[in-house]
Amino acid sequence: MTLQQHVLGYGPFAVALVIAAGISSGSTFMGMPGLSYDIGTPSLWYPLLYSIATVIGMLFVAKVIKKYGDKFGTRTIPEFIGERCKSDILRIALTIISILLIFYVVSQFVAAATMFQTMMGVNYETDIIITAVVLATYVFMGGSHSDIMTDAIQGFLMVIVALVVFFCFIGSVGVDGGFGDMLATIENENPEGGINQLFLPGDNTYGAFWLVALLFIAHLLFAVLPHLGNKFMAVKSGRDLKKLIMYCTIFATILPLMALGGLLGLAVVGSDAGISPDQNVPVLFSEIFPPVVAAFFAVAVLSAVMSTSDGLIVSLTQLLANDLYRKTFVPKMSITKEKAERNELLISRYSTFVVLLLL
């Protein structure tokens, strides 16, 4: 299977799940619930706005990326922009800048390690190694194909968990009394971040409307990040883009509901439980579900981490193999097309281990 076959030709529903899973990383499933557990209702601006801004951004870029991506035969966002602007310098510059996304992968590993440590008591360093080995195995074996197929499945699990958390919040599961009693408990646990508080005076992110508006503006171009923008090229046909955006809108509406888990955790676990905010979700699951069910949902949360991590790693390996090797070095080398493609695939696969070792 060639690298091009690894990347192209999937249905809009599957690709929408992949994009949603890539957007909703460990931040959505652990960080945002942790924020709402820590500072309360004002933090809900983030999950509300980032998903809306990302979908709006897709409306502007998806058609262009798909149309010219197919026309130029591009595989990555830096290559697409370089071909569109007819600039090798711009392509190389964007490739180098995109490689800095490796630091984003680190945050996903931290989220995975926190989940393992909280649910199973496994050593933090061991958790990091386990996460790296699992990622390296299926990314190495399947490349972009495994990234898309596993992310679609993981995205489906993430949607289920987000809906479960939403209905648990609506049903005030684990709280003595009804919905009103839960809201009163949240208010008592965190008066400054109660349900009736829109902003958090003095906070650098949620202190005023104009600060919150910056969150929206900052995420308008989120859809063109290398590990997300290249997914528009993976759709079978440009005619499927409307369905893709529709599905993405649905999933982008559901997944941020996970942030309500922080408020539910505040009512169930309490603010004096002696846990870090990021541990709220696994502790909450342990409190309100039987062990087997809690473990299943914990795996689904790990899916959020894995889906973003593998997308980033595959994107980084494509940058090395495609944008640097194929587009920059091969034209200056005396080498057959078949050998160049074979080397490209080898670089794409084995650079997976290089990326993970750098972490």
CATH of residue 180's domain is: 1.20.1730.10
| Cβ-proximal residues to 86 (8 Å cutoff; 6+ apart), any chain | none
pLDDT band at 226; cut points 50, 70, 90: confident
- Phi, psi of 85, deg, nearest 5: -95, 0
Mean pLDDT of 63-80: 86
How many angstroms separate the CA atoms of 259 and 208, rounded?
20
SS3 for the chain, per residue?
A: CCHHHHHCCECHHHHHHHHHHHHCCHHHHHHHHHHHHHHCHHHHHHHHHHHHHHHHHHHHHHHHHHHHHHHHCCCCHHHHHHHHHCCHHHHHHHHHHHHCCHHHHHHHHHHHHHHHHHHHCCCHHHHHHHHHHHHHHHHHHHHHHHHHHHHHHHHHHHHHHHHHHHHHHHCCCCCCCCHHHHHHHHHHHCHHHCCCCCCCCCCCCCCCHHHHHHHHHHCCCHHHCHHHHHHHHHECCHHHHHHHHHHHHHHHHHHHHHHHHHHHHHHHCCCCCCCCHHHHHHHHHHHHCCHHHHHHHHHHHHHHHHHHHHHHHHHHHHHHHHHHHHHHHHHHCCCCHHHHHHHHHHHHHHHHHHHHHHC
**Average pLDDT taken over every residue of the chain:** 85
Q: What is the pLDDT of residue 142?
A: 65
Q: Model confidence over 282-323: pLDDT tens digits?
A: 899 999 999 889 888 887 777 777 777 777 788 888 888 888
pLDDT band at 2; cut points 50, 70, 90: very low
Mean pLDDT of 113-142: 75
The number of domains in the chain is 1
% of the chain at pLDDT higher than 90: 29
Q: Is there a contact between 317 and 351 (Cβ–Cβ < 8 Å)?
A: yes
Look at residue 138 and tell me whether its pLDDT is greater than 90.
no
Q: Which domain holds residue 242?
A: 3-358
Look at residue 168 and tell me whether its pLDDT is greater than 90.
yes
- Phi, psi of 235, deg, nearest 5: -70, 140
Mean pLDDT of 28-55: 91
Q: Is there a contact between 259 and 49 (Cβ–Cβ < 8 Å)?
A: no
Q: What is the pLDDT of residue 33?
A: 92
Mean pLDDT of 342-347: 86
Which tops the pLDDT comparison, 25 or 144? 25
Q: What is the pLDDT of residue 13?
A: 93
pLDDT band at 6; cut points 50, 70, 90: very low
Q: What is the pLDDT of residue 146?
A: 66
CA dihedral for 347, 350, 353, 354, sign (positive or negative): negative
Q: Is there a contact between 305 and 347 (Cβ–Cβ < 8 Å)?
A: no
What are residue 235's DSSP bridge partners? 10
Look at residue 51 and tell me whether its pLDDT is greater than 80.
yes
C-alpha 291, offset from chain centre: 26
How many angstroms separate the CA atoms of 100 and 28, rounded?
21
